[in-house]
Amino acid sequence: MTTLERGLPLLLLVLAPVSVLAVLALGLGGTALLAAGVVAVLVAVVRRPVAGLVALLVFLPLQQVLLSALLANGAPLGAVRQLGGLKELLVLGLVLAAARAARGRPRLDLLDGLALAYLALVTAYLLLPVVAPGLLFDVPFQPRLLSWRTNVLFVVAFLACRRLGLTGQELRRVVRVVLALAALLAGCALLEFAAPEVWSRFLVDVLQVPEFQAQVFEVKATTDDALSRGAVGDVDVVRSGSLLLSALTLGFALVPALGLALERLTAARLQAGALALTVVTALGVATTLTRSALIAAVVTAYASLRYGVLRGRPGRLRLGLVLLVALVLVLPVAGTTAAGQRLAGTFSGDASTTDHLESLEAGVDGLVASPLGRGLGTAPGVGDRFDVTGRLTAENAYLQVGTELGVVAMLLFAALLGVAVVRLRRAALGGGPGAGTASGLAAAGLGLAVGGMFLHVWLDFTTAVTFWALAGAALGARPPAEPGDRQDAGDRAHPAPGPGGVA
């Protein structure tokens, strides 16, 4: 009996009350149609987990614009709302596919233990107020549930993808999709930066994004301008949000792709596509004018060069020259660019920097005052949307976990991220079918870990799920099962990591 078969009764027990609520909300006909769609998606992902993972990684960055387009072209609001849950359904399908692939009790290691402990603690914060009202905080269930989803979805995706056992060829296929999406996001960011009014009209008139946000997220549409705007000194500037519609999330969402593109530059032969993608992605990060994302990109570039040297990659000197040329070209004009002036403002104490420091201080004070946290739903985003009492913006990904879920959860999350980056580095140096991907993600992981000290990096599904799902797939990659599934030339001489991803 497989793990999936043993866990099926429990799964049905969990889904039973959800089905009852769906019948009450949608009626019998609507529920039957929804159930048929859910079953079809789950069966498809279990049978074709690689396609399911690709669908998840494609849907995440395009979710808002796709659903906006559907709503603008006459799709029923209820159907559009239901489609918003596709990412959770795809992750559930990957969990079932991983259970099927495991075919027995999987071996657990430190990384698994940290992830499961974190999941258990966050879930306790969701359920304990239901079991014992008043025991933990007085936050309504809906914002608590949405915040729980934000905090755990990427960890569940990580655990599932780690157990899928993708081959090197399958992993490279997934990575190519991620890089293509990054090129699309960065290209749209450059278009938005160069022609902001054209991009705004596209979002407002064609996709009707403000109307979508007003109806689906139930936030008042106060403007017909869908651009992210900011100020550099006394000058108003456009901060590219591309298809993610947010400059604060776009920069971080491009960092994993930047790490993977830089890793490709260390190959034996120069790939023009990898060089072009690296340039476009880096420029995409710059057009967001998000300082912490720029810092994350710089850390990623340094770490990529470092790992290229440690792995003895044939193109490591080329990568060093590319980064040196970029530095020589950028430094003389950095002070005249909006991004450079934003970075300079960090050290000159501009108003934005002062606000960040005050938020950081408030986060520390909040953690000291409430070491058990303020409860799910008090973080930025969900807390602001539902006007939750006690919400706090700490401008720090680690303090955000602490102020919401307490010191223990904060330490668990920090340890999980740290161990994941170390394991990725070990997999990169150890060789195997996932070594190249692991190297790029280890560099990106360091960049995101540093960027998380200044902003709430992991609240965005595109950044969090993409990075952690790819990390799990890279750590769990297995040797080729067929002669046609070749490893990278630089990885053939090294042993592959085991099922848990430990070399």
Render 196-212 in DSSP notation, one character per residue.
HHHHHHIIIIIS-HHHH
The verdict on residue 299 lying in a domain is no
Q: Is residue 498 part of a domain?
A: no
Q: How far is CA 443 from CA 20, 302, 320, 423, in A?
A: 46, 8, 15, 12
What tokens were used for 284?
């995409």
Q: pLDDT truncated to tens, each residue of the chain (503 aa)?
A: 454 445 444 444 444 444 444 434 444 445 566 777 788 889 999 999 999 999 999 999 999 999 999 999 988 888 888 888 899 999 999 999 999 887 766 688 999 999 999 999 999 999 888 877 766 677 888 899 999 999 999 999 999 999 999 999 999 999 999 999 999 999 999 999 999 999 999 999 999 998 898 888 877 655 677 787 776 656 678 889 999 999 989 999 999 999 999 999 999 888 889 999 999 999 999 999 888 999 999 999 999 999 999 999 999 999 999 999 888 777 664 544 555 555 555 545 556 667 778 888 888 998 999 899 988 999 888 888 888 888 888 889 999 999 999 999 999 999 999 999 999 999 999 988 899 999 999 999 999 999 999 999 999 999 999 999 999 999 999 876 544 444 443 343 334 344 333 33
Long-range contacts at 234-239 (CB < 8 A, ≥ 24 apart) = 235/338, 237/289, 237/338, 238/192, 238/193, 238/196, 239/287, 239/288, 239/289, 239/290
Is 64 part of any domain?
yes
- Between CA 94 and CA 489 the distance in angstroms is 30
CA-based Rg of the chain, rounded to a whole angstrom?
Answer: 22
User: Tokens standing for 204?
Assistant: 């407002």
Separation of alpha carbons 474 and 434, rounded Å: 5
Residues 237 and 280 sit within 8 Å (Cβ to Cβ)? no
C-alpha 236/C-alpha 118 separation (Å) is: 42
Structure tokens of 14?
């969990």
Beta bridge partners of 231: 236
How many CB atoms within 10 Å of residue 34? 19
In a domain, 269, yes or no: no
Residues 6+ positions from 471 with CB-CB distance below 8 Å: 158, 161, 420, 424, 438, 441, 445
> Which range marks the domain in which residue 79 is found?
1-105
At residue 102, what are phi and psi to the nearest 5 degrees?
-65, -40
Collapse the DSSP code of 245 into the 3-class scheme (helix H, G, I; strand E, B; otherwise coil) and give the result. coil
- In the chain, the number of structural domains is 1
Q: Does 254 reside within a domain?
A: no
For residue 83, being part of any structural domain is answered with yes
User: Is 35 a domain residue?
Assistant: yes
